[in-house]
Structure 1
């Protein structure tokens, strides 16, 4: 397998932490751990404006990559390290500048954290830059790399609960804000509905009435960003409701309501109820899941071409939904049609 030079920009925990050890072995829970799991990838450089995080990365991963170059400038990393693959784990409101710079510098595969961007205009700039460069852009919508969520979508496609009518998501926790973990929940609704959103209404939590566009700090302070509730209508007629609630304890589940049954989907298991019986859905293990799967897919795209299960077009649509929720809330929860008008 060919040697792919990898780099990471932004040494947040999701970028840099060591893999977790469980009864099932060591599970990659960071971009670095995902690259370490791939035999054809070699970490050559990292970038962060904090030099202490660069030092900590070298100490944590020195046994795997003893000669990682460190930079406080993304431009210097791109010019000197010349990576083939790049993970973008900077604050969300800086994703666009890093991705466009990477594409322009010749990076062949980019793995970007979520949300792809904080505005549709930024997302469009990113997609245009990647297309012009002939590069691949994968976005870490994590459930798209989870076998359970694929199993549930397969059950829907096979009609195991009849025709899908409605999706419902309950999402709570200290990071249940719309542009934090909320982006993953919204993406799951799109993934399961198997169709684009054509209409929505949204309402932000109290105190964020002025938010007609993203006004956060890129994810540093949870208190600076809102949770939200939303109603979605998909092009295939499926409807969905999303309830994001700021609480101490974290919870996430989805109800999938069909004409002939219901599936309740949690993060680790799902239950299908139909004709008075309940069946637990058990997913076949994948060789790689989560960020390891994302890295494996990115490497394969660079070497062999193809389409991502979590590609930029899908991620751009999710950003448009988030922006639509902000606009709808600012206008008194007015229903809005998608695509949005007046994107600049």
Structure 2
């Protein structure tokens, strides 16, 4: 049974939107999945009959991390131990103490200080590029591609610039390597329920999408990279490709200037702002907004995206269970009593989740990893593939470019393939 089909999921149209590939790629267009999601059956998620733990042909996996510089993301090292059809055969970590801890945690005989040496000696079929710091991703992914890896699972943010994404897409396309980016919410089965709300007319007309960062000390462009990437990645799921972005960046209430730019932490590249306001025109005509303001007082509850319809609002909280709630009614009409927030699950609005194990497999990366394995075997793209990751990076760097151009709308893909803050 294919991993991403099941009896309770209605068949939805596979809208594929033309969108120019980043420079350096080999095709003029690439598919954008729009309002389309094929969730996994519980039987396939737990264990396919063709993939048994005792199977002698378990898939060989190598893990790359860097303790103190992004570590191992959110469990990108250990997820493979929960997928019986895979076997971790090696780990690399440039930090000696971190390497020793990781070898013990993963129950391995040895580890490597140099990931390039590991890749050449081990020749794994799959590689986990785990550090959260994206300044290391280009070299790690390139080395993995060159070693002959068939599939790569990479922590987000995917990379730092569209130019880096261009290079990775070109190399992966030439080698035939499948790359998935760990925007795990893209795999959530409740997205199909939200799609049905939109397409059935129950929400009315989709008026806009509002995305928001966590509003903590990282508010601004750091939040845009670290947390906003999840939100923007979901915007493209619902609306297709971005056409333009216009944005302003502020620091302490004033517009950011070149004097505000500084080397950002966590390998993100140059940063400058504690406030970001961005507006995206999407291919289906929807306008999507993303805002992030440092210490805005909303706490983690503010980290969400809202699909605002004329007859109701869906609020989607990243990495939560339930992931989304529906508030019916005209959002602009005063109500005599508080409007309900009705949980959304894979079974529908206000219905109990019939497959909590499936949801857990999204949060702990098992479902994305199995999708990557299946994409290699079937010769298709992963659900959140390299081009989806590249589009998210493009949307982030578009904010910097628009601010450099006094908040004007700039077209996507960007002509400037680098970070516009870098040469300001």
Q: 1:214 to 1:335 in 2, by over 3 A?
A: farther
The answer to whether residue 339 in structure 2 is matched with residue 298 in structure 1 is: no
Instruction: Label 1:210 to 1:182 Cα distance change in 2 as closer, same or farther (>3 A).
Output: farther
1:61 Cα deviation after fit: 2.7
CA distance in 2, matches of 1:77, 1:156: 48
Do structure 1's residue 315 and structure 2's residue 393 form an aligned pair? no
Give 1:22's aligned residue: none
Please list every run of 5 or more consecutive structure 2 residues that lacks an aligned counterpart in the other structure: 1-50, 52-56, 331-338, 347-352, 419-424
Which of 191, 199, 203 does residue 248 from structure 2 map onto? 203
CA contact (8 A) 2:67 2:99 kept: no
1:212-254 deviation per Cα after TM superposition (whole angstroms, max 9, x unaligned): 9995344489988755221111011100111112238433122
Measure, in 2, the Cα distance between the counterparts of 1:121 and 1:79. Answer: 26
- 1:74 — aligned with what? 115
Is the Cα–Cα contact under 8 Å of residues 15 and 32 in structure 1 kept in the other structure? no
Aligned residue among 154, 179, 193 for 1:137: 179
Q: 1:173 aligns with which of 181, 206, 216?
A: 216
Between the aligned partners of 2:189 and 2:243, the Cα distance in structure 1 is 28
Task: Point out the structure with max Rg over C-alpha.
Answer: 2
Instruction: Give the equivalent residue in structure 1 for 2:94.
Output: 49
The aligned counterpart of 1:289 is 362
Instruction: Supply the distance in 1 between the matched residues of 2:259 and 2:392 (Cα, whole angstroms).
Output: 18
Partner Cα separation in structure 2 for residue 123 and residue 206 of structure 1: 29
1:49-75: CA deviations, max 9, x gaps?
A: 10111111122232xxx42x3112121
Counterpart residue number, 2:321: 268
Unaligned runs of 5+ in 1: 18-28
Q: How far did residue 122 of structure 1 move?
A: 0.4
1:15–1:30 Cα contact (<8 Å) kept: no
Q: Which has the higher strand share?
A: 1
Q: Cα gap change, 1:6/1:324 in structure 2, threshold over 3 Å: closer, same or farther?
A: same
Q: How many pairs are equivalent?
A: 328
Q: Indicate how the Cα distance of structure 1 residues 12 and 295 shifts in structure 2: closer, same or farther if over 3 A, else same.
A: farther
Query: Could you tell me the TM-score, scaled by structure 1's length?
Result: 0.85
Residues 215, 332 of structure 1: CA spacing in aligned structure 2 closer, same or farther, 3 A cutoff? farther
CA distance in 2, matches of 1:15, 1:306: 30
Separation of aligned partners in 2, 1:250 and 1:274: 23
Q: What do residues 314-341 of structure 1 show as CA deviations (whole Å, max 9, x unaligned)?
A: 1111111111101112222222121212
In the superposition, relative to structure 1, how do residues 329 and 221 fare at CA in structure 2: closer, same or farther (>3 Å)? closer
Distance 1:342 1:330 in 2: 12
Contact 1:213 1:323 in 2 (8 A): no
Q: CA deviation at 1:135?
A: 1.0
Which residue of 2 is the match for residue 238 of structure 1? 286
- Cα gap change, 1:156/1:260 in structure 2, threshold over 3 Å: closer, same or farther? same
Q: Structure 1 residue 5 and structure 2 residue 60: aligned? A: yes
State the 1:300 CA deviation: 1.6
Give me the whole-angstrom Cα distance separating, in 2, the residues matched to 1:259 and 1:321: 27
CA distance in 1 between partners of 2:122 and 2:155 (Å): 21
Normalization by structure 2: what TM-score?
0.70
In the other structure, the counterpart of 1:325 is 399
